[in-house]
Amino acid sequence: MTSILVEGETCWRKSRADRFSVIVDAGAFFRLAKSAMLKAKRSIILIGWDFDTRIELTPDSKDDEHPDKLGRFFEHLARRNRELDIRILKWDFGLISSITRGETPVHMLRWMFSKQIHLKLDRAHPPMAAHHMKLLIIDDNVAFCGGIDMTVGRWDTRDHLEDDPNRRSPFGGQEPPWHDATTCLSGPAAAALAELARDRWEMATGERLPPAAVEGDPWPDDLEAEFSDVEIGVSRTSPKYKDREEVVEIETATLAIIASVKKSLYIESQYFASRRIAEAMANRLEEPDGPEIVIVNPKSASGWLEEKTMDTARSRLRDLVEKADRHKRFRLLYPVNDRGTAIYVHAKIMIADDRILKLGSANLNNRSMGYDTECDVLLQAGEDEQVLRETILRQRNDLLAEHLGRPLEAVEEALARNDGSMTKTIDTLNQPDQHRGLKPVEHRPLGIDDEWVAESDLVDPERPSGVRYRTSQFLRNKFGRRMFARHA
């Protein structure tokens, strides 16, 4: 497999991570983030699409020593450490959603005048674009990067229980099952993400934050380092805005992963709506010895407008891919829990063979490829890094085990029996007498209005107005035959 970590093309920066772990579902993330933030000495930077001061970080466990609601927790941290500086950057449009869902403005107003807790709104983007990256940086020494926002409706465990009493809205209402993922890393790679966070803060506010420059190890308690001393690529999407140049490293990396995968490509994404990504998959599926591709999506998008646009685009692109899938190696699936309730998939993960793991905030839609701000981290194993390759593959198998409701060992045994085939393993372990599993996404019939909005710029624009797509020369040089075979 050709190396895809190329600075200036598929990533912004390559840095070593002393420790690197994948965290699945927000119940674990909130708990571990709380543990890390309690160790902060000088700096906490939280950058996201949204956050909500009312959420409880650990609703499933009692904590008498520290407040559990996010707003009060931040104020508690500031009171007990007067040298701690807390910076929160939130998408400006998210303020409207905060007000409409009843979030109290008390904390926000107080923080706008606080000397320790600083809340700012990010509006440094083209019209209707979103600030979508999700970063949490502690003392520049530990960083979380992934797809989970600290807001309502995210908390869940890997069991995705029906009517989990801990999965409640601030008003006490039952929230649906929710699947998500993020990463935690330390060392120079965490410092690189801290620099990116400061860059974004400066872009949004005009203020340049100094590095934390403090010794310490805020690595969260009880988090095992799954990977040690590995090279991480940090990839971004950033649209052209004023004098800022366009950055499409995530799109370039995604296309390179699809072009370079050999046997299996496992994907979790909130959407499947990028025609360019779908065509790249179709190219590989047409090959006689091409890879299997399994995409885990939600059953449907959230809300009427997204259903009308994103689900319609998914239906059209699914038809495109399945037409090319003459060898029947493609699956588009959604997970359900033990009661048969659909689990909403918000995670953004790609795992290619046992060589590449990409995880972050970017979905397989146009906005994530060139219109919103995004951040992903990538890990690639070399040919002779056998332990690293086994660990990457175990991550994929563990996700399959969660969705299938089976022990990891059962999934690995089924994979061994099926010569490593994901699709055959899923078919084998999806038992008709059990609700928990992966179900095929149903075909959506398209009406005249659906055809009109399908793949339109209404909700999912590809680039800001006046900015044209330019094919990466890196992709043409490295993967030209696989990337552009359908257009030759």
Whether the per-residue pLDDT at 337 is higher than 80: the answer is yes
Question: Could you tell me the two tokens for 395?
Answer: 């991550």
Whether the per-residue pLDDT at 7 is higher than 60: the answer is yes
Q: Which of 51, 38, 35 is nearest to 184 (CA)?
A: 35
Instruction: Report d(CA 356, CA 260) in Å as an integer.
Output: 10
* Confidence (pLDDT) at 116: 95
Q: How confident is the model at residue 390 (pLDDT cuts 50, 70, 90)?
A: very high
Q: Which residue has the higher pLDDT, 62 or 300?
A: 300
* Confidence (pLDDT) at 448: 57
Instruction: Report d(CA 195, CA 296) in Å as an integer.
Output: 32
Instruction: Report d(CA 109, CA 71) in Å as an integer.
Output: 12
**Counts of helices then strands in the chain (DSSP H, E):** 15, 18
Instruction: Report d(CA 372, CA 377) in Å as an integer.
Output: 17
Q: How confident is the model at residue 488 (pLDDT cuts 50, 70, 90)?
A: very low
Q: Which of 166, 148, 154 is nearest to 61 (CA)?
A: 166
* Confidence (pLDDT) at 400: 98
Give the range among 6-10, 219-223, 446-450 with minimum mean pLDDT: 446-450
* Confidence (pLDDT) at 98: 53
Instruction: Report d(CA 238, CA 369) in Å as an integer.
Output: 9
With contact defined as beta carbons under 8 Å apart, do 398 and 408 qualify? yes
Q: Which of 248, 230, 229 is nearest to 239 (CA)?
A: 248
CATH code given to domain 17-229 = 3.30.870.10
| Residues 6 or more apart in contact with residue 187 via CB below 8 angstroms | 15, 16, 17, 18, 19
Q: What percent of the chain has pLDDT over 70?
A: 90
The DSSP line for 359-375 is EES--BSHHHHHTSBEE
pTM above 0.75, yes or no: yes
- What would you measure as the largest C-alpha separation in the chain, in angstroms? 65
Q: How far is CA 137 from CA 39, 52, 75, 127, 444, in A?
A: 12, 18, 17, 28, 41
Instruction: Report d(CA 297, CA 441) in Å as an integer.
Output: 8
Instruction: Report d(CA 13, CA 234) in Å as an integer.
Output: 5
Instruction: Report d(CA 347, CA 178) in Å as an integer.
Output: 9
With contact defined as beta carbons under 8 Å apart, do 329 and 282 qualify? no
pLDDT tens track for 285-336: 999 999 999 999 999 987 666 777 888 889 999 999 999 999 999 999 999 9
Give the range among 155-169, 410-424, 473-487 with minimum mean pLDDT: 473-487
Instruction: Report d(CA 68, CA 430) in Å as an integer.
Output: 38
DSSP code at position 244: B
- In the chain, residues under CATH classification 3.30.870.10 are 17-229, 232-487
With contact defined as beta carbons under 8 Å apart, do 306 and 264 qualify? no
Whether the per-residue pLDDT at 201 is higher than 90: the answer is yes
One-letter amino acid identity for 421? Answer: S
Instruction: Report d(CA 299, CA 335) in Å as an integer.
Output: 8
* Confidence (pLDDT) at 380: 97
Q: How far is CA 466 from CA 132, 322, 463, 470, in A?
A: 22, 33, 8, 13
Burial-class residue 326 by CB neighbours within 10 Å (0-12, 13-18, 19+). exposed
* Confidence (pLDDT) at 45: 98
Instruction: Report d(CA 488, CA 471) in Å as an integer.
Output: 14
Q: Which of 211, 186, 177 is nearest to 197 (CA)?
A: 211
Q: Which residue has the higher pLDDT, 454 or 229?
A: 229
Domain 232-487: CATH superfamily, name plus number:
Endonuclease Chain A (3.30.870.10)
